[in-house]
């Protein structure tokens, strides 16, 4: 089993809809979880961090964490074409500061 | 957030040669990280560059192939040695955000390497 798993997509949603991106992880002791956005040809950009069970909202983005199910998700409300990118889930593993990345989910928001 | 720059931004190299990639940060950081992103793939950690000590390499990566220097708290280099087409990737350096220990990392713009 991979340490961090994501559906590679592409996930296609219409403009204005809610995009739901999912990630599961294998390390039960993980305490922090990150979502990065990567536009084509660019480096990853940190958009959300979550540390506690439940929801964390930041603008149009909501991260949801369920440690019991080892599941973290990212919801993007009112999706815009500018949200079209690859979204990477990252989880620390093996000690301080080592991040393990999922394969990424490619999101396409069409007008 | 830290401002991170990398040089070169891209390069095309011949097999068998070596390329040194530079990473400069605008603030002092204890750790710097080097990642590889192969075409269409996610990020894989190559090594952690520690100032004043040897780099710590991840499984599958060795110092002879990817020597790393860390002469001070704002700078690091990664060399890709004896390159083959399989080394064609984006190489990214990253640094931790602040000192809170919450594992957030910021990435540099990356170096896109093509090996012919």
**Contact, A46 vs A57, CB < 8 A?**
no
List pLDDT tens digits, range A20-29.
999 999 888 8
Of residues B19, B14, B15, B38, the one with CA closest to residue B84: B15
Q: Which residues of B touch A88 (CB under 8 A)?
A: 42-43
Residue B54 touches partner A, C-beta closer than 8 Å: no
Percent of chain B topping pLDDT 70 = 96
Give SS3 for A58. Answer: strand
For chains A and B, CB pairs below 8 A equal 51
Residue B93 touches partner A, C-beta closer than 8 Å: no
**Contact, A37 vs A85, CB < 8 A?**
yes
Residues 12-51 in A contacting B (C-alpha not used; CB under 8 Å): 32, 34, 42-46, 49, 51
| Bridge partners (DSSP) listed for residue B68 | B78
List pLDDT tens digits, range B1-50.
789 999 999 999 999 999 999 999 999 988 899 999 999 899 999 999 98
What would the mean pLDDT of B56-65 be, rounded to a whole number?
95
Give SS3 for B108. Answer: coil
Both tokens of A109, joined, read 């928001």
Q: Cα B94 to the chain's mean position, in Å?
A: 8
Nearest CA-CA distance, residue A54 and chain B, Å: 18
């Amino acid at each position: 089993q991979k340490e961090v798993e994501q559906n590679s997509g592409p996930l296609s949603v219409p403009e204005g809809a809610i995009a739901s991106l999912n990630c599961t992880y294998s390390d039960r002791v993980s305490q922090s979880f990150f979502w990065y956005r990567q536009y084509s040809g660019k480096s990853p950009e940190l958009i959300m961090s979550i540390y506690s069970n439940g929801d964390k909202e930041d603008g149009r983005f909501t991260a949801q964490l369920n440690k019991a199910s080892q599941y973290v998700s990212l919801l993007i409300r009112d999706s815009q074409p500018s949200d079209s990118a690859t979204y990477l889930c990252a989880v620390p593993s093996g000690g301080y500061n080592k991040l393990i990345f999922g394969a990424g989910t490619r999101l396409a928001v069409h007008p | 957030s830290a401002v991170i720059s990398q040089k070169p931004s891209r390069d095309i190299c011949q097999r068998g040669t070596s390329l040194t990639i530079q990473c400069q940060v605008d603030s002092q950081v204890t750790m710097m990280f080097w990642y590889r992103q192969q075409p269409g793939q996610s990020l894989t950690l190559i090594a952690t560059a520690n100032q004043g000590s040897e780099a710590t390499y991840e499984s599958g990566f060795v110092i002879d192939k990817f020597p790393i220097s860390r002469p001070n708290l704002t700078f690091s280099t990664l060399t890709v040695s004896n390159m083959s087409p399989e080394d064609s990737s984006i190489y990214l350096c990253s640094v931790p955000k602040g000192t809170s220990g919450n594992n957030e990392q910021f990435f540099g713009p990356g170096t896109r390497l093509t090996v012919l």
